[in-house]
Amino acid sequence: MDNSVGKVVVMTNITDEDFTHNYGGAPFTVRAKESLSFPYVVGVHLARHLARKILISGDKGATSWDPKDPTSNGGNGTVLFTQEAEELKMKEILGEEYTVDTPAKKSEIDLLKEEIAKLNDFRKGIEEDNKDVPKISEDSELDTLDRSGLIAKVKELGIKFSPTDKNNDLKEKIMAKMAG
């Protein structure tokens, strides 16, 4: 398990310029002299890149490169800063660390069970809203009536209709009258 879960760190932009750097593909901006709290891994990542920016900006000389000179880092040029210098600069940038309570992550099965419960509650709500509405089923009385029986039922209930109405239209009018 990741031991940085719930860990938070305060990061301060100690420069006079706004600093923006990406983490996980998302840009994070810390304004000049501003202090912000970040999840530990994000704050450390941003602090490392700000420290590097500061250390590199302090180098005004040209990078010397001589493959025969052993002080030129094996032909790769001079080292702009050391790891120790980077860590010292990061200590200036990073402030207090603290831990916040974070809810335990739910498993996919628990999330699925919650979603199923929500769907079932939603379905029950619909069923309760429609419990007074008569249901048309295959063995319903209306399904056993032929056209003349449907017309007789429409007349009995005092429903206005047209002789050109289809049987399903007549059934719907009867159901609406019985429901209301």
Q: Indicate if the alpha-carbon torsion angle 13, 18, 19, 25 is positive or negative.
A: positive
Residue 100 near residue 106, CB atoms below 8 Å: no
In a domain, 17, yes or no: yes
- 32, 95: one domain: yes
Residue 179 near residue 134, CB atoms below 8 Å: yes
pLDDT score, position 138 = 43
Average pLDDT over residues 93-119: 86
In a domain, 104, yes or no: no
pLDDT score, position 72 = 56
- 91, 147: one domain: no
Buried b / exposed e over 70-96, threshold 16 CB at 10 Å, is eebeeeeeeeebeeebbeebbeebbee
- 89, 158: one domain: no
Number of domains into which the chain is organized = 2
In a domain, 1, yes or no: no
In a domain, 160, yes or no: yes
Last-in-domain residue among 67, 84, 99: 99
Instruction: Tell me which residue range forms the domain holding 169.
Output: 141-179
pLDDT band at 134 (very low <50, low <70, confident <90, very high): low
- 86, 160: one domain: no
Strands (E), the chain: 7-12, 19-23, 26-30, 35-39, 94-99
In a domain, 32, yes or no: yes
Half-sphere exposure of 79 (CA within 13 A, CB side): 10
- 81, 152: one domain: no
The two structure tokens encoding residue 110: 């628990």
- 89, 11: one domain: yes
Last-in-domain residue among 84, 99, 114: 99
Query: Which of 2-11, 47-56, 104-113, 115-124 is predicted with the least confidence, judged by mean pLDDT?
Result: 2-11
- Looking at this protein, which amino acid is placed at residue 70? P
The two structure tokens encoding residue 141: 């009385």
- 32, 89: one domain: yes
- 82, 22: one domain: yes
> At which residue do the structure tokens 């006079």 appear?
16
pLDDT score, position 79 = 64
- 16, 67: one domain: yes
In a domain, 110, yes or no: no
In a domain, 90, yes or no: yes
Listing from the earlier edge strand, what are the strands of the sheet with 7-12? Answer: 35-39, 7-12, 94-99
In a domain, 71, yes or no: yes
What is the rounded distance in angstroms from the CA atom of residue 36 to the CA atom of residue 40? Answer: 12
Per-residue model confidence as pLDDT tens digits over 164-177: 888 888 888 888 88
Average pLDDT over residues 85-98: 91
- 24, 94: one domain: yes
pLDDT score, position 62 = 55
- 95, 145: one domain: no
